[in-house]
Amino acid sequence: MATTYLVTISGPDRVGVGAELFGALSQLSESATLADVAQITIRGSLVLCAEVTVNDQVTVSAIEAALAARHIVANGITAVVAPVISNSESDGRRLLVTLLAPTISASQLEGVFGAIATSGATCERIVHLATYPVDCYELVVRGSDQVALRERVTSVAQQLGLDIAVQRAGLHRRSKHLVVMDADSTLLQDEVIDLLADECGCAEEVSKITEAAMAGEIDFAESLRRRVALLAGLPVSVLDDVRAKIRLTPGARTLLRTLRRLGYVPAVVSGGFVEVLAPLLRELDVTHFEANHLEIVDGALTGQLTGDIVDRAGKARALRRFAEEVGVPLEQTVAVGDGANDIDMLSVAGLGIAFNAKPVVREHADAALSVPYLDAVLYFLGISREEIDTP
């Protein structure tokens, strides 16, 4: 009969501790098997755990003697050997819970961990993904009732002012190789059509229609036609002027640069206009994009559009097409948007992220960000600040 022990080494970190531990465990018996290993070091303090399964002839005393022979317990380092007792309440599949805010306090973590406990789940690991420009923790949580766990943790996190994403754990999270973003008010700080409206003196009227459309009060296609009609007669040279005024969202360049460096494919699908966006996206090295086309005759906007309108359904179709072109299934895609016309795209993607979005959009998303930094999307992919800052 076999018994599993958890060997915990803790104390001041020093060179060679890992080699000493595994050397000791390798000498226990020919039948000994290493089931799991975990380590964390915080400001020079080490906690190193190893789960080892041995036959009944190997006792706690024998394991302690093996550790002593390797001189592990010295200079402030201690070792604890204890049998592993199965806890049926914590059995189940793992979930990844990502928490994000400008700063995260102990009281906020108390609330989240309380929700985990009342769901009958346990936290197996905590990773501090980032300390700037936001605070971000990733928790590996195991529980048998994942639906209740997800609902309770999400509800508590939102009450505490934390952005949260809850995903199934596993390598599939890092396999989300296509990241599709909305342009206006997501990749960009601005609504391009509002900038065009400023040039023709109809900003107030266009802004009201834009707001109603983003809140889902007016069909996007109809609202777009109304707004574009107000631009009739605007000289095409204005498009260059507007493009020069566009401001990228903080973190946008970092997000795109990091995605490409790590092998992801960034894409943009927008209810805006190709004539304005295409040169900017080429500069940003985004080759997959879809947007609406303005009709231009004799050097001026006619107030009409050409081709199919990229509306709510059109954005979802574009995401599907991009996924096919890249060669990834939909569950390996991420969509990021802020408006009602992004809802279908967020729902189709494997991970839909609402970015500083209206409540109606957040309700349809898997995760939500309320911080102003677009590169915070990377944390929901498990990418740490250290990886982001690596040249």
Number of Cβ atoms within 10 Å of the Cβ of 34: 12
First-to-final CA distance of the chain: 52
Which among 183, 180, 208 has a CA at the least distance from the CA of 194?
Answer: 208
Strands (E), the chain: 2-12, 33-42, 45-55, 78-83, 93-101, 122-130, 135-143, 163-168, 178-181, 265-273, 288-297, 300-306, 333-337, 351-355, 367-369
For 200-219, the DSSP string reads: HT-HHHHHHHHHHHHTTSS-
Asked if 275 contacts 293 with a C-beta cutoff of 8 angstroms, the reply is: yes
Residue 89, classed as helix, strand or coil, is: helix
> Which of 163, 182, 344, 375 is an active site residue?
182
Q: Which two tokens stand for residue 78?
A: 């201690």
> Which of 135, 184, 342, 375 is an active site residue?
184
Asked if 156 contacts 114 with a C-beta cutoff of 8 angstroms, the reply is: yes
Known catalytic membership, residue 184: yes
Q: Give the chain's radius of gyration (CA, Å).
A: 26
Known catalytic membership, residue 13: no
Sheet holding 265-273, edge to edge: 122-130, 135-143, 93-101, 163-168, 367-369, 351-355, 333-337, 178-181, 265-273, 288-297, 300-306
Which residues form the catalytic set? 182, 184
